[in-house]
Amino acid sequence: MPRAVKKKPTGKKRTHAASAARALPVLPEVIIENISPCIDNGRFPAKAEQGRVFTVEADIFKDGHDIIKAALWHRPANQKKWQTAVMTLKDNDRWQGSFTPDQNLFYQYTIAAWMDPVATWLDHVEKKAGRYPNIQSEADEGLRLLDEMDKQAGKDAQKKISELHKTLRRTAGDSQALLEAVRGPLFQEIIGAFPLQEQLTVHEPAAELMVDRPKAVFGAWYEMFPRSQGKTPGQSATFADCIRRLPEIKKMGFDVIYLPPIHPIGTTNRKGPNNTLKAGQQVPGSPWAIGNAAGGHKSVHPDLGTLKDFASFVKAAQEKDLEIALDFAIQCSPDHPYVQEHPEWFYRLPDGTVRYAENPPKKYEDIYPVNFRNQDRAALWQELKSIVEFWIQQGVKIFRVDNPHTKPLYFWSWLIREIQKQHPEVFFLAEAFTRPKVMKFLAKAGFTQSYTYFTWRNAKKELREYFEELTQTEMRHYFRGNLFTNTPDILHAYLQQGGRPAFKVRATLAATLLPTWGIYSGYELCEHAAREEGSEEYLNSEKYDYKVWDWDRPGNIKEYIALLNRIRRENPALQEYANLRFFESTNDQVLCYGKWTQDKQNILVVCVNLDPHNPQEDRLQLPVWEFGLEDWQQYSAQDLVTGREYRWQGREQYVRLDPQAEPAHIFLLGKL
Amino acid sequence: MPRAVKKKPTGKKRTHAASAARALPVLPEVIIENISPCIDNGRFPAKAEQGRVFTVEADIFKDGHDIIKAALWHRPANQKKWQTAVMTLKDNDRWQGSFTPDQNLFYQYTIAAWMDPVATWLDHVEKKAGRYPNIQSEADEGLRLLDEMDKQAGKDAQKKISELHKTLRRTAGDSQALLEAVRGPLFQEIIGAFPLQEQLTVHEPAAELMVDRPKAVFGAWYEMFPRSQGKTPGQSATFADCIRRLPEIKKMGFDVIYLPPIHPIGTTNRKGPNNTLKAGQQVPGSPWAIGNAAGGHKSVHPDLGTLKDFASFVKAAQEKDLEIALDFAIQCSPDHPYVQEHPEWFYRLPDGTVRYAENPPKKYEDIYPVNFRNQDRAALWQELKSIVEFWIQQGVKIFRVDNPHTKPLYFWSWLIREIQKQHPEVFFLAEAFTRPKVMKFLAKAGFTQSYTYFTWRNAKKELREYFEELTQTEMRHYFRGNLFTNTPDILHAYLQQGGRPAFKVRATLAATLLPTWGIYSGYELCEHAAREEGSEEYLNSEKYDYKVWDWDRPGNIKEYIALLNRIRRENPALQEYANLRFFESTNDQVLCYGKWTQDKQNILVVCVNLDPHNPQEDRLQLPVWEFGLEDWQQYSAQDLVTGREYRWQGREQYVRLDPQAEPAHIFLLGKL
């Protein structure tokens, strides 16, 4: 709520008055409300990107007709001094101000507004001078204001103010003389140098902003199972094998390699191929059944190598400008050391045994869920925090969190804040596929990025609706979608049935709708066999098995993916989050949208044929006026997919997309 | 923000755990957010009506799959004990609960939510029983829950619980036996009697609600100048004359008589006919130039009578169930006693004189504005409060506040709250014709009712947009429009040019769009002469002059107004605020809308021809399914204006409205 800033009383009379006023509450003088962003009224930080402009809006007004001014105050949380940015009135009492945070840190921001007595007075002088020959009272008010400026001025300026004082007196209130004086350069210089503020009101408390590094906004992710990166059937690969895979992943243009858990895997109730029970010890088990006698969340699976081997892998990736993201799955196999050491951290049955995970009637016999609300809560939470810190020590700065929505939601706001206070460069991706409001809450609570409903949005209408919600509503200030085309758990029917064109369609959408996208390995090979009809599970999923892949399998789309990632890197418009705009077109199978930078130096128009089976044609309606073009102007449209260049004019353009050739255009528009 | 309610630690182990947990913040267990209404996140009270149901919604959810419950807690501010109302899940994690506040008082309300361990367990039992022959762990959990219930139970119930305990043990985990037990009547009785709550979370702080008396929502207002109620030209009427006017006002069906200021009028710079300057003392002056040697805001103009005469008028009105509303205009004529007694309350020019009111280049030489921010602020504010209290002592419970937007906006939140804490029956109407957000802020700050833009909304599209904003958005929870058809300052061109039909059109709209409406006297006579072309001022306005009216002037619409007010009184649907729904129709000159009670016992459909010059016809689309009717069903439509009755079927109906006959239908629908 805004708070009026009371100046300290000076002198006797003021002190007396201040004491009399204590009988009344101190109330804000200027109203500052409806600040955006200000997530849940400031309960949670908004999100911004290091080096990218951050804009704040608010409704600001006061009683009467005085002229007000406003400023956006901002500072990195480690500094006391506020920086200020001028806010300007848009319309209908809505004000806007911006700044560009240059550090990867928490920031604070708030709004100050005040009555500007000089501007108000100048306005009165201008309005009255044309109507009344003498406005002595305004001349007198000018003298009073000059006296106020004098208090702030140094000796040189005081001389000038004294001169202005004489000029104003000399007018004797004559309207024209007064007008001339206030419009003169000396007067303008002084009021510029010594701005006066009355009724200064600062909104409290300040809001928070998490300023993330650019990788948190713009990145291409590649998910892979380390144990599947080798060449020997029936055997786990090693981190050394993973290092050998790096050039190929780099060549496809990815920035982040995300690994499912790399920890020792439990033996009790180990899951076998296609999620079968009682598979015995010959199968590797699900990596999410974390922990056995060899260690838990701070250990590496011996089959993959040692912690040192992992460090070498991280280092080799870094040398190729690739970052490693680790899975953070808070659950334990029955063989996890925690189960012995901290039985109180688990759910105990009345007979003393520990309860495995279930979501009735589903059972997950190979894992124990953790009881976050146990009596030893503090020790558990601190230990969980120490796991993240452990991997930060090993060079990991990105964590993909498994099923965060089944843990106390505020646990995440505590954990992520604790980590980011010390390590602002560390960021978290929420794997919560659950109800919309729960997903939004996790993002507000601190998750840097979130999985989305993208895999289940395949029709034009639903894509448009969903992505307008993500990028055009308040969500854009706290929720950042990471568009995975597939995951080890999600192979959508569209991909199962659409063939190679379907894989290209979904990759194009993911890579261009939002600045962060990803694939789960196998996607580049158009792997599309489901476990059974109607299932989104992969057949013979590597989740439960050893697997050897032929990464050069015929029909792969590695080059297309490399092309997409190159286009993304070369076009800044694709590196921004909220600049997505959909365009009208009449064919329900063709989705058309654009992204452009604020300076309009980079304008992309994407057209995707959502039908993987048939060629489709359409007439797009391009808002050329938004691109700074007149209707009659010609412009170039270079298809970055095929390299073909077109010369266009006006808003309506014809496209035809054959999925067997290229299901999408990515046009770069240019002036001629 | 929601707060987890921690139970007091009992026993040693718990104390130890609680102390360890202190290292972590206490965080809410259940998320309760996006509460509606909750004005500006609880900074201001919402508004409700005494005796009418008040509904609260919120997003409520938690981690995982446990079953949650929620309750709306509410209490009058003078009581400590919370009442609770069950909330139910609508969809998408949105919950709803209601209560009917029966007292005209401030209330508090908040939301509590918790995990229901019994419901969660029952759900598990049901889901697992069909799948597994033995669910011993669920039987054990049942025993634990019974133990918890036992702690709340008296002796008789403990016996029953003990019996259930035995039954559960006897099942030995057999799924079918367990199912049978928990579905049995004894079990159901006990879980109904001893509900268990875990992770109880109460949203804090509680929100506030101002529960107004019904007159604050539903009323018909008549504004009149007391001095114009007599029969002698060039002379002021008296309160005795006003008493003689009461039967006629009552006959027209009005509930509230609002009087412009009744105080002594200043002589300095007194304004003459048509707002001329230097009119001398032969003119009565504007009643808003308050105060002279005879007194100020707590005095009555001697021409009107004495305070005792005023009391007689109030009493005579009360006897006819008419309430008197007074104007509260915080400004002083140069002759007001305050100017001498408290020169520090006014704006002083450097030469020591007091500054009159102005909004450059406009000047208001007959009044001084008050300096609310003067050094003696507390004394001024308290004195202003005492003015309101003075008139409350004289029996006035409604205040129409002149230009509240030119006074510090938070002054009103302080004043209205101070008054309503002692006198909740007192309410305030804001005469703020200013920018939308300022008007909304005044309503949030406490004004019970507000003037609106109604007089300037004459076209179908703008009427629909504006009234949907008023009644369908969050505004409906804090802003109550009072629809005056005209005011002493606003005679819209539509009325100047539209003749008698225009007066009927606008009266019909005002009387049926919202439950509170009003006219400024003269409207019933279709007074429509403007001071000049393009002006909204009345010619020879009684603001500046003595005036004698012929209240039975030919062409008057007194009977039509009486009919409107009778229809309003007889139809509860017209007494509600937010139940307005517009219907589709194709003619841009015909506005069609409905209002109906929740029980659909009273359904009104209003069609208004907005064109005062020509007959118009249209086909309405009535949403008969909303009225509980099938498309094939016949129903009756009785036009309450003409008394004619129609038999209708289906959604599309034809209407024809001739402004020379009746420009509006007000249909009462009925089942056949």
The neighbour count for residue A582, using CB atoms within 10 Å, is 18
Kindly report the nearest CA distance between residue B126 and chain A, in angstroms: 9
Catalytic residue among B431, B527, B542, B639: B431
Kindly report the nearest CA distance between residue A38 and chain B, in angstroms: 12
Residues A61/A82, Cβ–Cβ less than 8 Å: no
Residues with Cβ < 8 Å from B586, sequence gap 6 or more? Answer: B618, B619
| Of the partner residues A65, A131, A360, the one whose CB lies closest to the CB of residue B124 | A360
Residues A370/A297, Cβ–Cβ less than 8 Å: no
Q: What pLDDT score does A661 carry? A: 96
pLDDT band at A19 (very low <50, low <70, confident <90, very high): very low
Whether residue B33 and residue A40 make contact (CB cut-off 8 A), yes or no, is: yes
Whether residue A20 and residue B376 make contact (CB cut-off 8 A), yes or no, is: yes
- Which tokens belong to B36? 């509606």
Of all residues in chain B, the percent with pLDDT exceeding 70 is: 97
Whether residue A28 and residue B143 make contact (CB cut-off 8 A), yes or no, is: no
Q: Is the pLDDT of residue B289 over 60?
A: yes
Whether residue B40 and residue A28 make contact (CB cut-off 8 A), yes or no, is: no
Number of residue pairs across A and B with CB atoms under 8 Å? Answer: 153
Q: Is the pLDDT of residue A286 over 70?
A: yes
Catalytic residue among B66, B366, B402, B527: B402
Chain B residue with minimum CA distance to A438: B61
* A41 conformational bin, left if phi > 0, alpha if psi -120 to 50, beta if neither: left
Task: Compute the distance between CA of residue A311 and CA of residue B262 in angstroms, rounded to an integer.
Answer: 87
Task: Compute the distance between CA of residue A542 and CA of residue A524 in angstroms, rounded to an integer.
Answer: 16
Whether residue A61 and residue B441 make contact (CB cut-off 8 A), yes or no, is: yes
Q: Is the pLDDT of residue B15 over 50?
A: no
Q: What pLDDT score does A633 carry? A: 93
Q: What pLDDT score does B599 carry? A: 95
Chain A residue with minimum CA distance to B19: A378
Whether residue A375 and residue B13 make contact (CB cut-off 8 A), yes or no, is: yes
| Of the partner residues A20, A43, A437, the one whose CB lies closest to the CB of residue B92 | A437
String of DSSP letters for A438-474: HHHHHHHHT-SEE--SGGG--SHHHHHHHHHHHHHSG
User: In this predicted structure, which of B40-54, B308-322, B364-378 has the lowest mean pLDDT?
Assistant: B364-378
Of all residues in chain A, the percent with pLDDT exceeding 70 is: 97
Whether residue A350 and residue B376 make contact (CB cut-off 8 A), yes or no, is: no
Altogether, the residues listed in chain B come to a count of 672
* DSSP letter (8 states) at residue A168: H
* A555 conformational bin, left if phi > 0, alpha if psi -120 to 50, beta if neither: left
For the CA atoms of B433, B435, B438, B443, what is the dihedral angle to 10 degrees?
50
3-state secondary structure B129-186: HCCCCECHHHHHHHHHHHHHHHHHCCHHHHHHHHHHHHHHHHHCCEHHHHHHHHHCHH
Altogether, the residues listed in chain A come to a count of 672
pLDDT band at A73 (very low <50, low <70, confident <90, very high): very high
Q: How far is CA B462 from the centre of its chain?
A: 22
User: In this predicted structure, which of A514-523, A553-562, A623-632 has the lowest mean pLDDT?
Assistant: A623-632
Chain A residues close to B378, C-beta within 8 Å: 20-24
Q: Higher pLDDT residue, B451 or B5?
A: B451
* DSSP letter (8 states) at residue B7: P
Of all residues in chain B, the percent with pLDDT exceeding 90 is: 89
**Single-letter residue type at B637:** A
Cα atoms in the 13 Å half-sphere on the side-chain side of A334: 14
Whether residue A437 and residue B59 make contact (CB cut-off 8 A), yes or no, is: yes
- Which tokens belong to A142? 């000018």
Whether residue A350 and residue B23 make contact (CB cut-off 8 A), yes or no, is: no
Cα atoms in the 13 Å half-sphere on the side-chain side of A127: 13
pLDDT band at B356 (very low <50, low <70, confident <90, very high): confident
Q: What pLDDT score does B390 carry? A: 98
Mean pLDDT of chain A: 94
Active site residues of A: 402, 431
Residues B117/B69, Cβ–Cβ less than 8 Å: no
Chain B residues close to A25, C-beta within 8 Å: 414
Chain A residues close to B3, C-beta within 8 Å: none
pLDDT band at A570 (very low <50, low <70, confident <90, very high): very high
As to burial, measured by CB atoms within 10 angstroms (0-12 exposed, 13-18 middle, 19+ buried), residue B663 is buried
Task: Identify which of B101, B145, B141 has the alpha carbon closest to the alpha carbon of residue B125.
Answer: B141
Residues A262/A287, Cβ–Cβ less than 8 Å: yes
How much is the average pLDDT of B253-257?
A: 98
Which of helix, strand or coil describes residue B69?
A: strand
Task: Identify which of A190, A166, A189, A211 has the alpha carbon closest to the alpha carbon of residue A74.
Answer: A211
Kindly report the nearest CA distance between residue B419 and chain A, in angstroms: 14
Q: Which of B410, B412, B453 to mutate to test the interface with A (most CBs of A within 10 A)?
A: B410
Q: How far is CA B386 from the centre of its chain?
A: 25
Chain B residue with minimum CA distance to A344: B17
Chain A residues close to B436, C-beta within 8 Å: 92
How much is the average pLDDT of A340-355?
A: 88
Q: Could you tell me the pTM of the whole model?
A: 0.94
**What are B495-544's pLDDT values in tens digits?**
999 999 999 999 999 999 999 999 999 999 999 999 999 999 999 999 99
Mean pLDDT of chain B: 94
Cα-flanking dihedrals φ and ψ of residue B115, to 5°? -85, 130
Chain A residues close to B119, C-beta within 8 Å: none
As to burial, measured by CB atoms within 10 angstroms (0-12 exposed, 13-18 middle, 19+ buried), residue B630 is exposed
Chain B residue with minimum CA distance to A363: B128
- Which tokens belong to A471? 């990028």
Q: What pLDDT score does B13 carry? A: 42
Chain B residues close to A199, C-beta within 8 Å: 373
- Which tokens belong to B75? 């209490």
String of DSSP letters for A489-551: TB--HHHHHHHHHHHHHHHHHHHHHSSEEEEETTGGGT---BSSTT--SBTT-TTSS-----T
Q: What pLDDT score does A390 carry? A: 98
Whether residue B141 and residue A14 make contact (CB cut-off 8 A), yes or no, is: no
For residue A74, the cross-strand partners are: A83, A109
- Which tokens belong to A220? 């291409």
Chain B residues close to A438, C-beta within 8 Å: 61, 63, 93
**What are A28-40's pLDDT values in tens digits?**
999 999 999 999 9
**Single-letter residue type at B24:** L
Q: Is the pLDDT of residue A652 over 90?
A: yes
Chain A residue with minimum CA distance to B357: A64
**What are A115-168's pLDDT values in tens digits?**
999 999 999 999 999 888 999 989 999 999 999 999 999 999 999 999 999 999
Cα atoms in the 13 Å half-sphere on the side-chain side of B343: 7
* A473 conformational bin, left if phi > 0, alpha if psi -120 to 50, beta if neither: beta
What is the number of helices (H) and of strands (E) in chain A? Answer: 15, 32
Whether residue A140 and residue B350 make contact (CB cut-off 8 A), yes or no, is: yes
